[in-house]
Structures are given as structure tokens and as C-alpha cells.
């Protein structure tokens, strides 16, 4: 199964969905043995296992965490070899001062943004998509002719 590779088409059709709840990153060094079973995602690093789980689950297990995130899913099936989607999304969020941690799945990319900036991030990504979905006003039939030297 392959996904899309055309960046403009991916951005024009981009829809973003927020999972309910808040999510946190936990280092396996701080975790009990059942952590992987309740984790939403895990990454094995040289330093150990990092897991993302719901804040409620972390609190119930007495786990330490710092960053509290909202989980956003990019509803566009990009090919794993597609170029530019992560950069475009991260650049738009960075432009609005929103931190972003990215997890790539087979079918979708997932963003973990500060929980208190969830709505800002959704608005930023909606604007990004609209920029690619709407026709360029300068190219509109109703646009006045450009003045200056012709080429």
C-alpha cells in the first residue's frame, strides 16, 4: 500500500484530528513492567525506551513526566518516502511559536504539541491547508493586469 507523495496535494487535503485527553512522555527507567502494554507509542533509543501514554495512565501509575501534550493526527496518507510534509507542518507550527514532537506511523503522522496550545496548533494547520487548497488570488481571472516590463 502506498501513500501520496505530492506535497501541495497533501497539504491542500490535510485534515487534522485531535485525540481526546492529554499525553506524556515517560522514560522506561521510571516505569513499571506493564508500561508497554498501556503505551500509545514507544521508541527504543540508545538511552532506553521512551513511551508516550495518556496523562491519566501516567498519573494512575505514579510516573514522573514534564511535557504535557495534545495528540494531533494528520489525516493524510503520505507515503513513507514522501518529502516535505513534516518540514512544512513543523515550519508552520514553529512560525506560531508552537513546539511539536512528531511520531510517524505507517498510515499517518502524529504530532504531540503543548496541551495548552492544542487549539492554536489546529488553527495553524487549518490555515496551512487553506493556503494550498484555495486558488492563488494573484492568478485569479479577476486580478488586475500586472504592470512593468514584459518578458
pLDDT, tens digit (0-9, with 9 covering 90-100), for 45-98: 888 889 999 999 999 999 999 999 999 999 887 767 777 788 899 999 999 999
| Selected residue with higher pLDDT from 46 and 103 | 103
E-strand stretches of 59-108: 68-74, 101-104
Query: What gap in Å lies between CA 36 and CA 72, rounded to an integer?
Result: 21
Query: What gap in Å lies between CA 100 and CA 90, rounded to an integer?
Result: 7
Residues 6+ apart with CB under 8 A from 50: 25, 26, 27, 28, 42, 43, 44
pLDDT, tens digit (0-9, with 9 covering 90-100), for 106-144: 888 999 999 999 999 999 999 999 988 876 544 433 333
Backbone angles phi, psi at 121, to 5 degrees: -65, -45
The β-bridge relationship of strands 109-114 and 16-18 is unpaired
Using pLDDT thresholds of 50, 70 and 90, give the confidence band for residue 42.
very high
Write out the CATH class of domain 7-133. Answer: alpha beta
pLDDT the model gives residue 144: 37
Query: What gap in Å lies between CA 25 and CA 47, rounded to an integer?
Result: 14
What are the residue ranges spanned by the domains of the chain? 7-133
pLDDT the model gives residue 84: 76
| Selected residue with higher pLDDT from 120 and 5 | 120
pLDDT, tens digit (0-9, with 9 covering 90-100), for 15-27: 999 999 999 999 8
pLDDT the model gives residue 74: 92
pLDDT the model gives residue 82: 78
Amino acid at each position: 500500500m502506498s501513500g501520496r507523495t505530492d506535497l501541495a496535494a497533501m497539504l491542500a487535503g490535510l485534515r487534522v484530528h485531535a485525540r481526546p485527553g492529554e499525553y506524556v512522555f515517560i522514560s522506561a527507567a521510571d516505569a513499571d513492567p506493564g508500561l508497554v502494554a498501556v503505551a500509545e507509542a514507544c521508541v527504543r533509543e540508545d538511552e532506553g525506551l521512551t513511551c508516550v501514554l495518556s496523562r491519566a495512565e501516567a498519573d494512575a501509575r505514579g510516573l514522573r513526566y514534564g511535557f504535557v501534550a495534545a495528540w494531533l493526527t494528520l489525516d493524510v496518507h503520505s507515503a513513507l518516502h514522501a518529502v516535505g510534509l513534516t518540514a512544512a507542518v513543523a515550519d508552520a507550527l514553529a512560525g506560531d511559536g508552537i513546539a511539536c514532537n512528531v511520531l510517524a506511523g505507517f498510515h499517518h503522522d502524529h504530532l504531540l504539541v503543548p496541551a495548552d496550545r492544542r487549539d492554536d496548533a489546529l488553527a495553524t494547520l487549518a490555515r496551512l491547508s487553506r493556503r494550498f487548497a484555495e486558488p492563488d488570488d494573484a492568478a485569479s481571472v479577476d486580478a488586475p493586469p500586472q504592470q512593468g516590463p514584459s518578458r
